[in-house]
């Protein structure tokens, strides 16, 4: 693409930079830009040799990137006779350390080279002096200017020189000590503990499991299900999109009673996205949709022919009704949009942020003001001597996007504790001001998969909760419906706070003959993980937990806690910021699910008097486990 084509063609519009560029001398005043969410306008100012001002307007907006160079042009309408038409111009070049094209959102660090290729035409003129005005109001949420590399310290640039601006991703800024709800596993709010340890919650598997199996002709090998699950508030029903191989040559040709004599291998196959629905989350229907023809008929529940790893979400935010449902397969650079999640999927090409053929965890994150996707990366080197090591090592990665199309290179955020336990898939859920991650751990030594738990304050930095301990455990009975592998879906929270944990399961090993199922477990409200006594027992020293100062944002205090035995209790002292008690609760002697705390009447304590003020909470736990606390009006 030559210069004329750049000038006469389209101007690439870049919102993510939202960087005000100003060219001025010491006599010129700094312009006052006008900024909107997706647009930044500013002036390009300077003076000629006679002191006369000239200038042009700059507008940056978001657009697609289809080249390594993104062009911001200042042209035309320049006062005076010192400038030729189309000059000066500035080119914005985006690249990462691999010199690959980047979108602007969601990368840990990227560089933009501002390339000056114009020239002041008067013989007595000097190269323009560039000044870059930047501030929080001009930089998109989640990005900040990290450093400037320029040819000389005065920004005086000869033609064809570059100024390189390096940006870095920053975490959302909000007050973590002024929330409605706090999960106790959020270590940022804890000042100190005594005789207390953080342990996993206890999901209870539904006795009606499995809820359904691969029982249709077009389900010869569901594999890992990789379910995308929502409860549709508008339609008041559960919706599930699950992945399967709708054609799998080996399974199609090998009856069940012959499989013990046939060695399993990955055969020729085709993936499809299937759809199921339920009114109660227990009884599921696979409707005959009449969309895709398989085995000579369209009487099946296949909505989209796509490889496994395709993930579906509902996006009620999108003003375009034809894009309310979105699907993505990052490893192939493919996305689809649909009005109802069933019919008329339209395919679009996307960036390829990572090589993931597993389930993606995708959602709109208000804190980051963009889509966040947790996907899978691979180590660059094979693992000599390790089972399946020729493929490399699986890692959990993260990328973001404003439009669901442009996804920068994903950044690794979590990896297994050792080379025999890999982070195969990663389901992330936001609750109580933090991110909770259910990690599908692939045990390569035993060729099975189970689920562990991690948490993060921002979705970037993750901490394991009881690393090595299973959150959703496999059955101990060989051949049981979830003995072999477990693959978590998106959790659902019911109105009473009960958490529904749906998952795909197998009765065989990861690579081998196996049947697939869809299952359910439940978890008490906020029951991901809690603090309890290290040394427990009726006569053991109780556990204590002191929070950092937090702001009271309600007139009542509620807790979620389990009381394990007779004589067990939870007691809460409200303290001033210095730790002096100002109010004490009655003992909570029974398991509390979203229970409001009652105060001892003798001291006449009223939490409402402390609204907007900071207090500490001092918990005493005896034969009890504390999961969360919250304020309520």
Tens of pLDDT, residue by residue over 221-266, are: 997 899 999 999 999 999 999 999 999 999 999 998 999 899 999 9
How far CA 368 is from CA of 145, 386, 526, in Å, comes to 17, 38, 23
**pLDDT top residue among 207 and 166:** 207
> Is the CA virtual torsion 410, 416, 419, 421 positive or negative?
negative
Q: Which residue has the higher pLDDT, 170 or 285?
A: 285
Residue with the larger pLDDT of the pair 393 and 118: 393
> What are the phi and psi torsion angles at 389 (to 5°)?
-70, -15
Q: What is the model's pLDDT at position 623?
A: 94
Phi, psi of 188 (to 5 degrees): -65, -25
For residue 443, what are the CA distances in angstroms to 390, 424, 463, 464, 468?
16, 9, 20, 17, 11
Burial 457-495 (b: 16+ CB within 10 A, else e): bebeebebbeeeeebbebbeeeeebbbbbbbbbbbbeee
What is the strand order of the sheet 325-329 is part of? 311-314, 325-329, 334-338, 346-349
Structure-token pair, residue 139: 């930089």
Where residue 81 falls among pLDDT bands split at 50, 70, 90?
very low
pLDDT for residue 306: 94
pLDDT, tens digit (0-9, with 9 covering 90-100), for 121-130: 333 334 333 3
The overall average pLDDT reported for the chain is: 78
Which of the residue ranges 106-115, 317-326, 518-527 would you say has the lowest mean pLDDT?
A: 106-115
Asked whether the predicted pLDDT for residue 52 surpasses 70, the reply is no
What global pTM score does this model have?
0.77
How much of the chain, in percent, has pLDDT values that exceed 70? 70
Where are any strands of DSSP class E within 79-172? Answer: 90-95, 109-116, 130-133, 143-149, 161-169
Domains of the chain, each with CATH number or no CATH = 3-169 (no CATH), 181-198+529-632 (2.60.120), 204-523 (2.115.10.20)
Task: State residue 168's pLDDT score.
Answer: 57
Burial class for 236, CB neighbours closer than 10 Å (0-12, 13-18, 19+): exposed
| More confident call, 547 vs 141 | 547
Q: Where are the alpha helices (DSSP H) in 152-267?
A: 249-253
Q: Would you state the pLDDT for residue 389?
A: 66
Q: How many CA atoms lie within 13 A of 588 on its CB side?
A: 30
Spatial neighbors of 116 by CB under 8 A, at least 6 apart, are: 88, 90, 127, 128, 130, 157, 158, 159, 160, 161, 162, 163
What is the model's pLDDT at position 223? 79
C-alpha to C-alpha distance for 565 and 624, rounded to whole angstroms: 8
Q: Tell me the mean pLDDT in the region 393-402.
A: 90
| Residue 375 phi, psi dihedral angles, 5° rounding | -130, -155
* Burial (0-12, 13-18, 19+ Cβ within 10 Å), 521: buried
pLDDT of residue 378: 87
**Residue 182: its pLDDT value, please?**
97
Q: What is the mean pLDDT of residues 8-21?
A: 30
Model confidence over 133-170: pLDDT tens digits? 332 323 344 455 555 554 444 333 444 455 555 555 55
Q: What's the confidence (pLDDT) of residue 354?
A: 86
pLDDT band at 385 (very low <50, low <70, confident <90, very high): low
What pLDDT score was predicted for residue 299? Answer: 97
Among 31-40, 287-296, 488-497, 566-575, name the one with the lowest average pLDDT: 31-40
SS3 of 56, please?
Answer: strand
End-to-end CA distance of the chain: 62
% the chain with pLDDT above 90: 61
pLDDT value for 98: 35
Reported confidence tier of residue 476, pLDDT bands at 50, 70, 90:
very high
Mean of pLDDT values over 437-448: 95
């Amino acid at each position: 693409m030559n210069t004329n084509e750049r000038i006469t063609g389209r101007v690439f519009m870049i919102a993510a930079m939202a960087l005000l560029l100003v060219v001025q001398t010491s006599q010129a005043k700094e312009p006052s830009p006008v900024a909107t969410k997706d647009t930044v306008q500013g002036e390009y100012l300077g003076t000629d040799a006679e002191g006369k001002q000239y200038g042009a307007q700059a507008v940056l907006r978001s657009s697609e990137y289809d080249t390594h160079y993104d062009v911001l042009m200042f042209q035309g309408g320049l006062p005076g006779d010192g400038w030729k038409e189309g000059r000066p111009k500035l080119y914005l070049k985006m690249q990462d350390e691999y010199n690959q094209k980047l979108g602007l959102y969601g990368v840990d660090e990227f560089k933009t080279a501002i390339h000056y290729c114009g020239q002041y035409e008067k013989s007595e003129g000097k190269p323009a002096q560039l000044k870059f005005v930047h501030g929080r109001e001009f930089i998109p949420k989640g990005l900040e200017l990290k450093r400037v590399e320029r040819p000389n310290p005065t920004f005086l640039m000869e033609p064809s020189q570059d100024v390189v601006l390096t940006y870095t991703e920053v975490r959302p800024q909000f007050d973590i000590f002024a929330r409605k709800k706090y999960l106790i596993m959020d270590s940022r709010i804890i000042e100190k503990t005594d005789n207390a340890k953080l342990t996993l919650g206890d999901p209870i598997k539904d006795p009606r499991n499995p809820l359904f199996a691969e029982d249709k002709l077009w389900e010869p090998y569901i594999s890992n299900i990789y379910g995308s699950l929502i409860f549709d508030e508008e339609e008041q029903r559960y919706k599930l999109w699950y992945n399967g191989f709708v054609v799998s040559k080996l399974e199609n040709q090998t009856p069940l009673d012959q499989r013990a004599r046939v060695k399993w291998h990955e055969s020729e196959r085709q993936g499809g996205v299937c759809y199921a629905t339920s009114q109660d989350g227990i009884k599921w229907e696979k409707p005959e949709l009449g969309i895709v023809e398989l085995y000579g008929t369209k009487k099946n529940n296949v909505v989209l022919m796509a490889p496994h790893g395709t993930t579906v979400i509902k996006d009620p935010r999108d003003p375009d009704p034809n894009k309310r449902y979105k699907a993505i397969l990052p490893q192939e650079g493919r996305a689809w949009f649909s009005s109802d999640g069933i019919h008329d999927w339209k395919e679009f090409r996307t960036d390829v942020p990572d090589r993931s053929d597993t389930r993606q965890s995708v959602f709109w994150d208000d804190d980051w003001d963009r889509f966040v996707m947790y996907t899978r990366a691979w180590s660059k080197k094979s693992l000599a001597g390790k089972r399946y090591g020729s493929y490399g090592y699986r890692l959990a990665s993260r990328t973001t996007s404003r439009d669901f199309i442009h996804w920068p290179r994903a950044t690794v955020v979590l990896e297994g504790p050792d080379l025999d336990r890999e982070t195969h898939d990663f389901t992330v859920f936001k609750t109580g001001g933090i991110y909770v991650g259910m990690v599908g751990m692939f045990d390569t030594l035993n060729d099975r998969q189970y689920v562990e738990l991690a948490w993060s304050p921002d979705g970037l930095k993750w901490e394991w909760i009881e690393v090595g301990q299973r959150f959703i455990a496999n059955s101990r009975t060989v051949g049981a419906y979830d003995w072999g592998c477990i693959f978590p879906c998106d959790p659902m929270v019911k109105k009473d706070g009960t958490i529904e944990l749906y998952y795909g399961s197998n009765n065989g090993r990861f690579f081998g003959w196996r049947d697939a199922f869809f299952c359910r477990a439940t978890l008490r409200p906020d029951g991901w993980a809690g603090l309890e006594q290290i040394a427990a027992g009726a006569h053991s020293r109780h556990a204590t937990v002191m929070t950092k100062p937090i702001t009271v944002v309600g007139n009542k205090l509620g807790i979620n806690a389990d009381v394990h035995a007779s004589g067990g209790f939870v007691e809460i002292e409200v303290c001033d910021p210095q730790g002096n008690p100002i109010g004490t609760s009655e003992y909570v002697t029974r398991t509390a699910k979203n229970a409001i705390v009652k105060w001892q009447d003798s001291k006449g304590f009223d939490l409402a008097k402390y609204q907007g003020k900071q207090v500490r909470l001092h918990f005493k736990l005896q034969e009890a486990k504390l999961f969360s606390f919250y304020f309520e009006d």
